[in-house]
């Protein structure tokens, strides 16, 4: 895929690894493009059911490549945002496997993923205010959706770091692992997702994301055609049939 991003398929899971260890996996424009290309592959390949985003050599991502920024380069891609992810997440579930630093844009990448598995040594934070910047790649929007609003405001205004233990306590991190085992924890979580019907999984994610913007009075009207499209699928019939026949379902994705 790229010297900056390594992509590997393990079973039904696509692992996307940011591979700039000397820069603590900081993101420049080329890295954003490589991640975007990998996410396109995640959504395009039917045998892939879930993705994992991680970083090499003990760090998730230290944010924007400040040297590239000073040189006039923008890491954001038009229509896709920072890391090729923050403005257009994939349709399939994406899990962040976090070791070490997930700071600034790195924290925003983790928050743009659907689920977070973190090693106990991981540290999250939006320190942009300490650099005269604003966390404009979704961190200020997504953090208060994951943790209590007042706590999110404190971290955003102080720029202080949040430990993985605290992030798990506040509900931002789904699963904690020992140091060095975040990818194993993410693979186990991805396998639990990949065992389910792919159409139903994608639609479940879509409804839960889009429902945040639905007017309360219109929730059922807006959800009904989306849910009905899955009820009428071959996989829905297969799921019911497999249950009655006491066997594992064979999903066809249609």
Of the candidates 76, 120, 128, 245, the residue annotated as catalytic is 128
Asked if residue 10 lies in contact with residue 48, where contact means CB atoms within 8 angstroms, the answer is: no
Asked if residue 37 lies in contact with residue 43, where contact means CB atoms within 8 angstroms, the answer is: no
Both tokens of 243, joined, read 């249950």
What letter does residue 130 receive in the DSSP assignment? G
Strand order of the β-sheet with 161-163 is: 101-103, 123-125, 161-163
User: Is 238 considered catalytic here?
Assistant: no
Of the candidates 45, 73, 87, 108, the residue annotated as catalytic is 108
Minimal CA–CA distance to 102: which of 84, 83, 87? 83
Asked if residue 253 lies in contact with residue 198, where contact means CB atoms within 8 angstroms, the answer is: yes
End-to-end CA distance of the chain: 29
Strands 115-119 and 94-98: parallel
Asked if residue 8 lies in contact with residue 15, where contact means CB atoms within 8 angstroms, the answer is: yes
Asked if residue 82 lies in contact with residue 109, where contact means CB atoms within 8 angstroms, the answer is: yes
User: Is 108 considered catalytic here?
Assistant: yes
Strands 123-125 and 101-103: parallel
Catalytic residue annotation: 108, 128
């Amino acid at each position: 895929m790229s010297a900056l991003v390594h992509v590997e398929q393990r079973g039904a899971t696509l692992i996307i690894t940011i591979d700039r260890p000397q820069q603590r996996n900081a993101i420049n424009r080329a890295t954003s493009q490589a991640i975007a290309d990998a996410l396109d592959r995640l959504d395009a390949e039917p045998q892939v059911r879930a993705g994992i985003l991680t970083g090499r050599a003990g760090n998730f991502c230290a944010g924007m490549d400040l040297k590239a920024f000073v040189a006039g380069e923008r890491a954001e891609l038009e229509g896709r945002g920072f890391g090729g992810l923050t403005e257009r997440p994939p349709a399939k579930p994406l899990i962040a496997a976090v070791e070490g630093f997930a700071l600034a844009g790195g924290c925003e990448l983790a928050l743009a993923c659907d689920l977070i598995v973190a090693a106990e040594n991981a540290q999250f934070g939006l320190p942009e205010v300490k650099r005269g910047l604003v966390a404009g790649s979704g961190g200020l929007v997504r953090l208060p959706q994951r943790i209590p609003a007042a706590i999110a405001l404190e971290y955003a205004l102080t720029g202080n770091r949040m430990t993985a233990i605290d992030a798990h306590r506040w509900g931002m991190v789904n699963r904690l692992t020992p140091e060095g085992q975040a990818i194993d924890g993410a693979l186990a979580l991805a396998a639990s997702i990949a065992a389910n019907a792919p159409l139903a999984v994608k639609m479940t994610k879509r409804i839960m994301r889009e429902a945040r913007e639905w007017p309360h009075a219109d929730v059922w009207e807006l959800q009904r055609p989306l849910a009905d499209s899955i009820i009428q699928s071959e996989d829905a019939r297969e799921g019911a049939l497999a249950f009655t026949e006491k066997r594992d379902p064979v999903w066809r994705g249609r």
